[in-house]
Structure 1
Amino acid sequence: MARPHVLLSVAVSVDGFIDDAGPDVLPLSSAEDFDHVDRLRAESDAVLVGAGTLRSDNPRLLVRDAARRAARRASGLPEHPLKVAVSGSGDLDPALRFWHHGDGKLVYTTERGKGVAAARLGGLSDVVSLGADLDLARLLDDLGGRGVRRLMVEGGEGVHTAFLAAGLADEIRMAVAPVLIGQAGAPRFVRPAAFPGGPTRRFHLAEVTRAGDVAVLRYLLRPPG
């Protein structure tokens, strides 16, 4: 079974941060960019986030536009893509909005985290063990077996780093906001890691667009065609 196409979606400041160090989420995207992200969600079979993003952002991860939801229904799809969470510990708060909105939910965790997640979430989500560690290749194989062809990864920095370090991302959509954050404790797009090819590897810039005051860059990580 083919693995899904993996799109990493991120909004960053000019100096590469995805948020500031404060307790509230700093919105970096413009209204036009939020709408574009909504379209990409509607075109995806599944959206994925890490446990840290669930805790810090408390997202719903839904398709917001009614016409896009209607188009999915007309195509025989659920209104919203499958929502996927990744957590090594399985310690996930059942009160988060993620579990109480949308259609199907799925948690990938470790063998030690499986029982924790199942006990914490009850019937709110299916729970799948990836073994002793969070094996993302195995995760993609499992999603492919479930019919997922397009996976949109929406953060956070640990998850993005893991997909890139494992060479499992196909595409990056980066929205660059015209702000500087400059705080040492603020999160960045990725953490230090041994990325395939290192600093000599150059991605293919496929597209540059404008969304309000935000520049949107689309990079392909594998040769086009």
Structure 2
Amino acid sequence: MIRPHVLLSVAVSLDGYIDDRDEQRFPLSNAEDFDHVDQARAESDAILVGAATIRRDNPRLLVRHADRRAARVVAGRPEHPLKVTVTGSGDLDRTRAFWQDGDRLVYTAEHGHGRAVAAVGDLADVVSLGPSVDFGALLDDLGARGVDRLMVEGGGTVHTAFLSAGLADEVRVAVAPMLIGQVTAPRFVNPAEFPGGPARRFHLEDVTKLGDVAVLRYFPKR
């Protein structure tokens, strides 16, 4: 079975944070980078975020540019990529924007399956991955569904899970020219045991300047 190509996409401050501590989402990126992300979404078959990101950021995860949506339809693809979320507990809020527009898929563990079905079973396909959320099994299931390219947009717990399991093929990091400096603010990744440890160096594929944001593309598996 062929697993999807996994692209992790994140915007960070110079000191490695993805947000501040306020309830409202902190704007790290700029218009040029948002458009760049929109192109990456348009090239993807599915976009994944964790349930905590849905609760905190209320993302729609849609392709914004009309020409890109039209190109997908012409190519015989859905207007928007499949929207995917992960929750071990099944704690999902059906009022969030994620559940509007497009097709939706939920991965959970056995103990959270009933709760997830009760919350959003009429809005999405809900799949149990077993006793715990197994991200390898998640990729196997997506591959079986015909997903060739998966874009992962966070948050930190999900990014950490993919990287610590060695499942990321590509990492896109948009570095914003600012410092957040709040110890309890969320970061790109959490402490974990990563394959190869600190001695392992990713392959830097390219660097793109988008206004005042630098976008770095790394290929971990090269």
TM class by smaller structure: over 0.9
Could you state the TM-score of these two structures normalised by the residue count of structure 1?
0.98
Aligned to 1:202: 201
| C-alpha separation in 1, matches of 2:30 and 2:100 | 27
Instruction: Give the letter aligned to residue 180 of structure 1.
Output: L
Aligned to 2:188: 189
Percent of pairs identical after alignment?
A: 69
Instruction: Give the letter aligned to residue 191 of structure 2.
Output: P
Aligned to 1:154: 153
Aligned to 1:143: 142
Aligned to 2:213: 214
Deviation of the 1:122 alpha carbon? 3.2
Instruction: Give the letter aligned to residue 166 of structure 1.
Output: A
Aligned to 2:4: 4
Deviation of the 1:145 alpha carbon? 0.1
Residue by residue, what CA displacement relative to the aligned partner does 1:90-134 show, whole Å, maximum 9, x if unpaired?
110111110012x11000000111110000113100000000000
Instruction: Give the letter aligned to residue 148 of structure 2.
Output: R
Instruction: Give the letter aligned to residue 19 of structure 1.
Output: D
Gaps of 5+ in 2: none
| C-alpha separation in 1, matches of 2:56 and 2:167 | 25
> 5 Å matches for 1:80-91?
80-91=80-91
RMSD: 0.5
> 5 Å matches for 1:66-81?
66-81=66-81
Residue by residue, what CA displacement relative to the aligned partner does 1:163-186 show, whole Å, maximum 9, x if unpaired?
000000111000000000000110
| C-alpha separation in 2, matches of 1:143 and 1:10 | 21
| C-alpha separation in 1, matches of 2:51 and 2:136 | 18
| C-alpha separation in 1, matches of 2:103 and 2:94 | 15
Gaps of 5+ in 1: none
| C-alpha separation in 2, matches of 1:182 and 1:22 | 13
| C-alpha separation in 2, matches of 1:122 and 1:188 | 31
| C-alpha separation in 2, matches of 1:221 and 1:185 | 27
